[in-house]
Structure 1
Amino acid sequence: MNQGPMSERPLGQGPMGQGPVSQGLARPVAKRPDKSLLRGLGGLLPRGLLARTLLIMLLPLVVLQGVALQLFYGGHLDVISRRLSAGLAGDVAFVANLVDQVPEAMRGQILREANWRLGLSLGFEPGQLLGTPPARPAWMPFLPLEEDLDHALRERMSFTFDADWHSDPQAIVIRVQTGTGLLSVEAPRKRLFSTTLYVFVLWLVGSALLLAGIAILFMKNQVRAIRRLAEAAESFGLGRDTAPIKPEGAREVRQAALAFNAMQGRILRFVSQRTEMLAGISHDLRTPLTRMRLAIAMLPRSAETAEDLEALNQDLEEMERMVETYLAFARGEGIEAPRPADLVELVEEMAAKSRRSGADVSVNLPEALTLPLRADALKRALGNLLDNARRHAKRIAIAVAEVQEAGRHWAELTVDDDGPGIPAADRAEAFRPFSSGSATGTGLGLAIARDIVRAHGGEILLEESPMGGLRARMRLPV
C-alpha cells in the first residue's frame, strides 16, 4: 500500500511537535586557561616597574640571541668540528700508511717532511708495540671533539690507535700501531678549534651587555621620576607640606606630574576655603548668641518662668561649646604644620592633664618615639578621647607601641576604659557629627579626632577593650 511521501519537518524538530531533539553534535567548548597556573607565573615576575620593564626589553633579546646562536652556530660548529677532525685524521692516516710501506731508509725523510709541511710532531719506534693508554682523570669531561676525532680516525685508518687528550694541555697525542712499529703524533689542539666562534660569542655578549647597560640607565631615569611622583603623593596624603614636584622624564610622566601639582593646588585651596568659611561662620555665631544671653538675663524672673529660662541657658551654653569646638578645629587645621615631635612626651602631658581633671589614668609608654606631628591638633584629638572616656568610665589606660604591618611602620596609641562601651553595630555611627547621646557633649569629639588622625595619614578605630569598655586604637605613620 502506497502511503505517499513522508511529511517534511524542520531539522531538529521532534515528531508530533514534541520539541527539538538532540542532533548528536556537541559544540566545542573553549578551554579556559588555568587561573592557578597564571597566578603562579605572576608570582615569579618581579614587582618593581624597573625590573619588569627590563625583563620585557631584555628577555626577547636574550632569547633571540640564544636561538640564533643555537641554530646557526650550533650546526656551524658541528660541521667545522667534523671537517677539522677529518683533516687531522687524514694527515695522520696518510703518514702512517706511508711510513708502513716505504723502506726503513726513507722513514726519516718522510717524518721530517710531514713535520714541516703538516705541522705535526712525529716520532717512530721500530718494532715497538702499542701499550695501555694513560688513565683518564675523573675530573676531565668528555668533549664532543673526542668523538668527532675518534670517528674520523676509524673511517680513514686501518691501524690500531689511541688518542691521549689529557697528558699535554696544548696538544693531542695519537699513537698508531703500524706493521713495522709504533708511530707517535703530537697534533696542536688549535687544529680542531675555530676561533671565529669565540669572537662571535664575545661580540654577542658584549653587545648585549652594552645594550642592557644603556636600557638600565635610561629606565632608571624614567622610574626615578615615577618614584618621586609616588613619594610626593604619599607625603601629601599623609598631610605633610610638599612643594610642587618638578616635571621630568617621559611626556606621560611629565603630564602626570603637572596633573598632580594642579590637583594638590585645588585640594589645598578647597581645604583653606572650607576652614576659613567654618571659622567665619563660627565667629559670626557669637554675636547673636551674646545678644540672646543678654536678652535672657534682662527678662523678669518669676517662679513660673525660672524653669524655662534655665533650659534656655543650657541650650545657649551647648551652642557656645559647639562654636568653640568649631573655632578650635578651624584654628588647628588651618595654621599648624607637621613637625618632628615626641609622641610619648605628648601622651604623658595629656595624661597628666586628664588626672588633674579627676580621671584615673595609667600609662604604658616606651622611652621615646619621634615622628612628624601636628602637636596641638593631636593633643586636641587625644584630649577628646580622654574626655569621652572620663565621662563614661572610672579607669583609663593609655599605651603606645611601634608596630609593623604590610612593610610599613606605625605608631599605635590605644586608649582603654572600663565604661559601658559602644556596641559593634553603632561604632561607625559614633564618628558622625552630632551623634553623641550624652547630655553634656556636642557630638563632635570623635569626628574631630578622626579628621585630625586622618590628616596625619593614619586611622582611628573603635574596638572592645580588655578592660570591658571601649578601646580607641589610633595609628600614625612613622
Structure 2
Amino acid sequence: MKLTALRRLLPSAPPARDDAAAVAPWRRWLHPGTPSLLKRLAPRGLMGRSLLIIVTPLVITQVVAAIIFYDRHWDTMLRRLTGGIAGEIAMISDMLRREPDPLEREWLLATAHLRLGLDVSLSPGDILPNEPPAAAGGQMAEALAHAMESRVQRPFVIDTDSIDDRVEIRVQLSDGVLTVLAPRKRLFSSTTYIFVMWMVGTSMLLMGIATIFMRNQVRSVRKLAATANSFGKGRDVPRLKEEGAREVRQASHAFNLMRDRISRQIEQRTEMLAGVSHDLRTPLTRMKLQIAMMNGDDEDIAALREDVEEMERMLADYLAFARGEGTESTEPADLSGLLQDVVGRYRREGYAVDLHLEEDITLPLKRRAMERSVSNLIGNACRYGSHVAVRAGLRGETAVLLIDDDGPGIPADKREQVFKAFFRLESSRNPKTGGSGLGLTIARDIVRGHGGEITLADSPLGGLRVVVELPL
C-alpha cells in the first residue's frame, strides 16, 4: 500500500516521514493479509465461535493466575523450605564445632536424625573437591545453594541426582566433611501441582457444561436453517417448533409466519387459476361450437378457427406456468425412471433421442411437475434438432442432467432472455412450430422450485446444451 493511500484511509495518522521505520508500523497493522489470516484461523460454525468466545478469556485468566501463583507462591515456598534445611545444617555445624568430644558428636548426629529427619555423618579429615558451590539440579538446587550461602557460609556441594528420594549436601568443616541426606519431600511443595490440577479439572468441567448448553442453542439454529432450506426447495415442511434463546424463537416465529403466508398465497393462486380456467374455457368452447356450425370453407372462418385453437394453447401454457408451485407434495422419486418414461414417449413419436444414465438417481421431487419440466426441455431439443442426447449422473450432492441437440442453438447474449415469459427467439426458432414462449419459463420455474438451477451452454453436438442441477 502506497503512502498516499495510507493518508487517504487514515487522515488522523501522523505525518509520513522519509524514515522507513515510521511507515512500517502502519503497513504492518494494515497489511491486507491479516484479516484473511484471522478468518482462516477462526472457527466457521456458530458453536465453535461461541466456545472460542467463552474459552479464550478462561484460558487467559488461568494462564495469568498460574504465572502469578508459580512466580509468587512457588518461589516463596521454595525459599522457606530450603531456608529451613540450610538453617538446620548451620545449627548442626555450629554445635559440632562447639563439641569436640566424639561421644557428644555421635549423640548430636543421632538426635538430628531422630528429631529433624536428617541423615547426618561426619568424615574427619576429608576435604571437598574444588568444585562450584552448587551442582546442577534445577530451581530447587539453586534455591538451596542460595540458602546455604547465606546461612551456613561454608564451602558446600549439593547433589540432587544421585539418590532418588534424597538430596545430598556436603559441607566443609574445619576438621572434616559433614554429609547431610535430606528427604526430597522437605524441599518440595505439592500445592502447585494440586492447584494446576484443580484449575484444569474445573476448566474442563466448565467447558463441558458450556459445550452442552451451546449445543442446545445451536441445534435450534441448525434446525431453522435445515427447515428453511427444505422449504426453499419446495418441500412440504411442518411448522417449526419455537425453542431456544429468545432471538432464535423470534426467528422461528418469523419463519412460521412467512411459511403460512406463502402457503396461503399458493392456495389462493391455485384457486384463482381454477376459476380463470373455467371462466375462459367456457366462452372458447362456445366459440368453437359456433365456428363448427358455420357452413363453407371461407378463409376468414379458417383463420378464426386457428385463432381460437391458438388461444386454447396459450391458455393451457399460461395455466401450466402460473401453476408452477402447485399443490403437489414432494416425495422421493426415481429420476432415472422419469427420464426413461419421457424419452420413451418421444422415441415413440419418431424422434432420435439417446439416453445415458450413469447410475440410479433417487431424490425428493414433485414428480408430475418435474416430468413437465423435463418434457418441455427434451421437446424443445427434439423440435429444433435432428439428434438429441440426454445424460444424467451424480456430481457430489447434486444430480446433473445434460440435454444436447444439434439444432441452430441460441446466441450467448439471448440465453437469459429466453427464460422470460412469452419471449420467442424469432431469428433462430421457427414461429410456425414454436409455442407460446413459456416452455423454458415453466421448466426453470419448476427446477428452481426444487432448489435447482437451469443454465444454457454450447453443445458438443453443435447446438444447444441445457444443464439442469438438482440438489439431493
TM-score in terms of structure 2 length: 0.87
Match for residue 78 of structure 1? 75
Q: Secondary structure at the match of 2:326?
A: helix
Question: Residues of 1 paired with 2:416 and 2:436: CA distance?
Answer: 17
The equivalent residue for 1:29 is: 13
Letter in 2 for 1:146: A
Instruction: Give the Å deviation of 1:232.
Output: 0.8
Give the Cα–Cα distance (whole angstroms) in 2 for the partners of residues 429 and 194 of structure 1.
82
**TM-superposed deviation, 1:101:** 5.1
Q: Partners of 2:174 and 2:233 in 1: how far apart?
A: 95
Q: What amino acid maps onto 1:115 in structure 2? A: H
- The whole-number CA distance in structure 2 between the counterparts of 1:280 and 1:425 is 38
Q: Which residue of 2 aligns with 1:9?
A: none
Counterpart position of 1:323: 315
Picking from 427, 436, 439, the partner of 2:432 is 439
Q: 1:432 to 1:331 in 2, by over 3 A?
A: closer
Q: Which amino acid aligns with 2:470?
A: L
Contact 2:324/2:446 (<8 A) preserved: no
Which residue is 1:89 aligned to? 86
Q: Which residue of 1 aligns with 2:373?
A: 381
8 Å CA contact 1:342, 1:369 repeated in 2: yes
Change (3 A) 1:112 1:52: same
Equivalence for 1:266: 261
How far does the alpha carbon of each residue in 1:94-149 deviate from its partner, in whole angstroms, 9 at most, with x for none?
Answer: 3234335532332211111222232212222333454699xxxxxxx952222111
| Match 2:205 to one of 181, 204, 210 | 210
Segment drifting more, 323-332 vs 248-257: 323-332
Letter in 1 for 2:310: E
Amino acid at match of 1:38: P
Counterpart code for 2:406? D
Deviations along 1:75-97, one digit per CA (max 9) or x if unpaired, are 23222222322221222233234
User: In structure 2, which of residues 156, 162, 170 is the aligned counterpart of residue 167 of structure 1?
Assistant: 162
Aligned to 1:276: 271
Q: Which moved more, 1:98-107 or 1:29-38?
A: 29-38
The aligned residue for residue 425 of structure 1 is 413
Shift of residue 294, structure 1, vs aligned partner: 2.2
Distance, in Å, in 2 between the alignment partners of 1:422 and 1:102 is 117
Compute the displacement of 1:384 (Å): 0.2
Name the CA shift for 1:282/1:326 in 2 (closer, same or farther; >3 Å).
farther
* Counterpart contact for 1:412–1:474, Cα < 8 Å: yes
- Structure 2 partner of 1:459: 453
Pick aligned residue for 2:109 from 108, 111, 114: 111
What is the number of equivalent residue pairs in this alignment? 440
Q: How far did 1:301 drift?
A: 2.4
Counterpart of 1:470? Answer: 464
Residue of structure 2 equivalent to 1:5: none
> Alpha-carbon deviation of 1:334?
2.6
Kindly indicate whether the alpha-carbon contact (under 8 Å) linking 1:279 and 1:330 is maintained by their aligned counterparts in 2. no
466-475 or 85-94, larger mean C-alpha shift: 85-94
* Contact 2:321/2:438 (<8 A) preserved: no
Alignment partners' CA distance in 1, 2:350 and 2:178: 113
In the alignment, the residues of structure 2 paired with residue 74 and residue 115 of structure 1 have an alpha-carbon distance, to the nearest angstrom, of 33
> In the alignment, which of 52, 56, 75 is matched to residue 53 of structure 2?
56
Match of 1:67 in 2: 64
Say whether 1:372 aligns with 2:364. Answer: yes
Find the aligned partners of 2:327 and 2:390 in 1 and give their Cα distance: 28
The residue aligned with 2:444 is 450
Q: CA deviation at 1:255?
A: 1.4
Q: Is 1:124 matched up with 2:122?
A: yes
Helix, strand or coil at the partner of 1:402 = strand
What's the CA shift string for 1:333-364, capped at 9, x where partnerless? Answer: 43321111221121122111111122111122
| Corresponding letter in the other structure for 2:61 | L
Which residue number corresponds to residue 16 of structure 1? none
3-state secondary structure, aligned to 1:466: coil
Q: Of the candidates 384, 399, 405, which is equivalent to residue 392 of structure 1?
A: 384
Query: 2:137, 2:159 within 8 Å by CA — same for their partners in 1?
Result: no
Contact 2:452 2:469 (8 Å CA) reproduced: yes
**Equivalent-residue separation in structure 2 for 1:162 and 1:283 (angstroms):** 112
The answer on whether the counterparts of 2:453 and 2:470 sit within 8 Å (CA) in structure 1 is: yes
The DSSP-based 3-state class of the residue aligned with 1:334 is coil
Instruction: Find the aligned partners of 2:325 and 2:34 in 1 and give their Cα distance.
Output: 51
Give the whole-Å Cα distance in 1 for the aligned partners of 2:130 and 2:201: 46
1:194 correspondence with 2:186: no
1:344 aligns with 2:342: no
In 1, distance between residues paired with 2:422 and 2:137?
Answer: 87
Matched-pair contact (CA < 8 Å) for 1:276–1:330: no
Deviation at 1:332, TM superposition (A): 7.2
Q: CA–CA distance in 1 between the matches of 2:163 and 2:361?
A: 71
Q: Tell whether the 8 Å contact from 2:335 to 2:361 is kept in structure 1 after alignment.
A: yes
Partners in 1 of 2:356 and 2:443 — Cα distance?
21
Q: Is 1:81–1:192's contact at 8 Å kept on the other side of the alignment?
A: yes
**One-letter amino acid of the structure 1 residue matched with residue 286 of structure 2:** R
The residue number in structure 2 matching 1:363 is 355
Q: 2:219 aligns with which of 214, 224, 230?
A: 224
Q: Distance in 2 between matches of 1:119 and 1:29?
A: 69
Kindly provide the amino acid, as one letter, of the partner of residue 49 in structure 2: R
Q: Report the AA paired with residue 243 of structure 2.
A: E
Note the residue ranges of structure 1 that are not aligned, 5 or more in a row.
1-25, 134-140
C-alpha contact 2:137 2:161 (8 A) present in aligned 1:
no
- Give 1:329 shift: 5.4
Tell me how far apart the structure 2 counterparts of residues 258 and 125 of structure 1 sit (CA, whole Å): 90
**Structure 1 residue 204 displacement after superposition:** 2.4
The answer to whether the 8 A contact 2:321-2:441 is kept is: no
Counterpart secondary structure, 1:51: helix
1:381–1:448 Cα contact (<8 Å) kept: yes
Contact 1:344/1:366 (8 A) holds in 2: no
Contact 1:464 1:471 in 2 (8 A): yes
Contact 1:393 1:418 in 2 (8 A): yes
